[in-house]
Chains A and B, each alone.
Chain A
Amino acid sequence: MMKNLEELTLNRSPEGQTYWEGLLNEKLLLQRCTNCHKLRHYPRPMCDACHSLDYDWVASSCRGSIYTWSVSHHPFHPAFQDQIPYVMITAQLEEPVRLLAPLVKHQQEEKLYIGRTLTVAFLKISDTLCTPYFILDKD
């Protein structure tokens, strides 16, 4: 799995680098425009509200709720072959951005519905890769 997963982590942008490093420190960093303070995700060079190229980073609350989800049954990519079936959740964070990440393994059978609250956690896979995942609050 590791080798196949590494081929998926080669496309890092300069803006994304800080985000990925933040995850290694168990922080979900969001870009904030230093001119108009609009938060944005995923990382990119420009603020779409005021077009400033200047930004800093703020740590997300890591709290949110289900916006939508999918359950993958077919192993499209070999890196995730031993995971299927697995739930992926699009969550609306408390901040005005969303996050797409897998649901923790032991909650795969939980009832899913829009608005169910959750927390972001962090899974360290290697020295260079840490990925976010979700843990649902008690129903």
Chain B
Amino acid sequence: MNDFFLKNKGCVSGIGETKYEKSTDRSTLALTLEASLAAVRDAGLSPHEIDGVIPYGAGGIVAEDFITNFGIQDLRYSAQTPMGGASPVAALQSATMAVATGVARHVLIALGRGATSGRITNRLAQMPQMRVASEFEMPLGTNAPAQFYAHMARRHMEKYGTTSKQFAEVAITCRENATKNENAMMRKPMTVEDHQNSRMIADPFRLYDCCLESSGAAAVVVSSADRAKDLRKKPVFLSGLAEGHPMSPSTITQRPNMVELGLAKAAPIALRMADLSLNDIDVAEIYDCFTYIVICQLEDLGFCKKGEGGDFVSSGNIKKNGTIPINTHGGLLSEAHIAGMNHIVELVRQLRGECGERQLRDVETGLVTGYGDLGDGSIAVMST
């Protein structure tokens, strides 16, 4: 078994989404099942044929829910990838490991956000990954992701001269893309002035630097490459997969290098596995909980040098016709916050050519990243 055993062993065979909206009366489970069923049917499978499940742990949904509601007779694999917003993309790696080794044939990855979510600061404080921050940092007044990440963003700005107007480029790009997406929550075009006039949340983050809060669900099915060939849709191959964790993953405060994320470790592995360079990548769906996090990831991916991300985004590189179009669906900033499961769905759609008005031309390879908790990263390189 070589280092890159997983290359092209798994495919995304099905994708599914619900409607995305600001709030809902429906339960997280109902939404998750709706998206899951859509993904299973998109693959041309029956729910009974799902024999592996990776639910998003933070949503409170467990494998048992799928056995019960799908009527699965023999679930052979269940796992969780507790990495916050890096979870869905990290789950692609775990699912591929399961189908490549024959442990399971069709693994469902599902994530929903329903009516039961509650206050963000409480949800965060209860996550095991946040235990250290919860004990030592939350009682002093740092309680939400915007407040934690603001320290990384400010460090980047002071060290490299990155500006709030450069942050705006990320938000504006996502919004432009969202105008062509009927399922996007925010479709009114945004200007730099709109961004600069939006209220301060946790300096340096303004309102328009922050992702949406949404309800909805998304899901994908990962099948072994052999089986995917015979399914309903054109298989999308998982060519490179990796997750990466920063030093001091439990607290940003003590991190030796505060302006680098776990993705910096994962990205070169995934690209080597896929045997591709960044020049080969046609589209990148980048986890965008905050504008700065996109800039940092573009650097960690290697699209530009560390510290040059601000100039990179303000030179038009990430636009639809730029060198590397990002977040063609509008991302967490303008489509919906489905914790990056929506980024995976969008990349698969682009590779299949199913994106309608927002479809990019000649898309053969793309990448999707996840970012979560206090710096965890994940990446999948996909190709047709």
17 sampled A-B residue pairs with Cβ under 8 A: A8-B143, A11-B131, A12-B135, A42-B136, A42-B251, A68-B151, A68-B152, A68-B158, A70-B202, A71-B200, A73-B203, A74-B146, A88-B140, A88-B151, A100-B253, A114-B158, A131-B140
Q: B141: which A residues are within 8 A, CB to CB?
A: 72, 77, 79-80, 83, 86, 88, 102
Cα–Cα distance between A73 and B201 once the two chains are bound (Å): 5
B260 to chain A, nearest CB (A): 14
B150 touches A (CB below 8 Å): yes
- Is B147 among interface residues, defined by CB-CB distance under 8 A? yes
Complex: A30 Cα to B142 Cα, angstroms: 21
**Which residue of the partner chain, among A70, A72, A79, A80, contacts B154 with CB atoms under 8 Å?**
A70
Chain A residues within CB distance 8 Å of chain B: 5, 8-9, 11-13, 16, 19, 41-42, 44, 67-74, 76-77, 79-80, 83, 85-86, 88, 90, 97-102, 113-114, 129, 131-132
Chain B residues 151 to 168 lying within 8 A of chain A, measured CB to CB, are 151-152, 154-155, 158-159
Chain A nearest CB, measured from B249 CB (Å): 12
Query: B135 touching A11 by the CB < 8 A rule?
Result: yes
Q: Is the CB of A8 within 8 A of B138?
A: yes
| B interface residues, Cβ below 8 angstroms from A | 120-121, 125, 131-132, 134-144, 146-147, 150-152, 154-155, 158-159, 199-204, 251, 253-254, 258
CA distance A97 to B150 in the complex (A): 19
Determine the residue in chain A with the shortest Cβ distance to B126. Answer: A11
6 residue pairs, one from A and one from B, having the closest CB atoms? A70-B150, A71-B203, A68-B155, A76-B144, A77-B143, A73-B200
Question: Which residues from B are CB-within-8-Å of A5?
Answer: 139
B interface majority secondary structure: helix
Quick one: which of A11, A73, A97, A131 contacts B254, CB cutoff 8 A?
A: A97
Structural contact, A11 and B151, CB atoms closer than 8 A: no
B140–A72 CB distance below 8 A: no
Of the residues A11, A42, A68, A74, contact of B202 by C-beta under 8 Å: A74
- A98 and B253 contacting across the interface, CB-CB below 8 Å: yes
Residues of A within 8 A of B135 (CB): 11-13, 16, 42
B150: chain A residues within 8 A (beta carbon): 70-71
The smallest beta-carbon distance between A10 and chain B, in angstroms, is: 9
Q: How far is the CB of A103 from chain B (nearest CB, A)?
A: 11
The answer for the CA separation of A99 and B137 in the assembled complex, in Å, is 9
Question: Contacts A70-B203, A131-B139; is A42 near B147 (CB within 8 Å)?
Answer: no
Bound complex: CA of A33 vs CA of B63, how far in Å? 42
- B254 engages A77 (CB within 8 Å): no
Q: Is the CB of B151 within 8 A of A9?
A: no
Q: How far, in angstroms, from A80 to B159 measured CA to CA in the complex?
A: 29
Let me know if B147 and A72 touch, CB within 8 A. yes
The residue that B155 contacts in the complex, of A9, A67, A100, with Cβ under 8 A, is A67
Which of B132, B140, B144, B158 is most buried by chain A, counting CB atoms within 10 A of its CB? B140
The answer for the CA separation of A8 and B258 in the assembled complex, in Å, is 25
Contact B138–A99 (Cβ < 8 Å): no
Q: Determine the distance from Cα of A16 to Cα of B202 in the docked complex, in whole angstroms.
A: 28
CB distance from A41 to the nearest CB of B (A): 7
Name which residue of chain B comes closest to A74, CB basis.
B201
Q: Which residues of A contact B120 (CB under 8 A)?
A: 76
Contact, CB under 8 Å: A70 / B158? no
When C-beta atoms are compared, the residue in chain A nearest to B136 turns out to be: A42
Contact residues in B for A13 (Cβ distance below 8 Å): 131, 135
- What residues of chain B lie closer than 8 Å to A73, measured between beta carbons? 199-203
Q: Is the CB of B254 within 8 A of A68?
A: no
CB distance from A85 to the nearest CB of B (A): 8
Measured between C-beta atoms, what is the minimum distance from A116 to chain B in Å? 11
The minimal Cβ–Cβ distance linking B60 to chain A, given in whole angstroms, is 20
A74 to B121, CA, bound (A): 12
Taking a contact as CB atoms under 8 Å apart, the answer to whether A8 and B125 are in contact is: yes
Residue from the list B142, B146, B253 in contact with A99, Cβ < 8 A: B253
In angstroms, Cα B142 to Cα A132, docked, is: 13
Please give 6 more A-B residue pairs, beta carbons under 8 A apart, in addition to A11-B131, A73-B201: A9-B139, A13-B131, A77-B143, A80-B143, A90-B155, A100-B142
B245 to chain A: closest CB distance in Å?
A: 14
Residue of B nearest to A86 (CB): B141
User: In the complex, what residues of B have CB within 8 A of residue A88's CB?
Assistant: 140-142, 147, 151
Q: For residue A100, which residue of chain B has the nearest CB?
A: B253
A113–B158 alpha-carbon span in the complex (Å): 8
A17 to B201, CA, bound (A): 32
Answer whether A76 and B121 are a contact pair too, CB < 8 Å, given A8-B138, A42-B136, A102-B141: yes
Q: Are B151 and A76 in contact (CB under 8 A)?
A: no
A128 to B178, CA, bound (A): 50
What residue in chain B is nearest A87 (Cβ atoms)?
B203
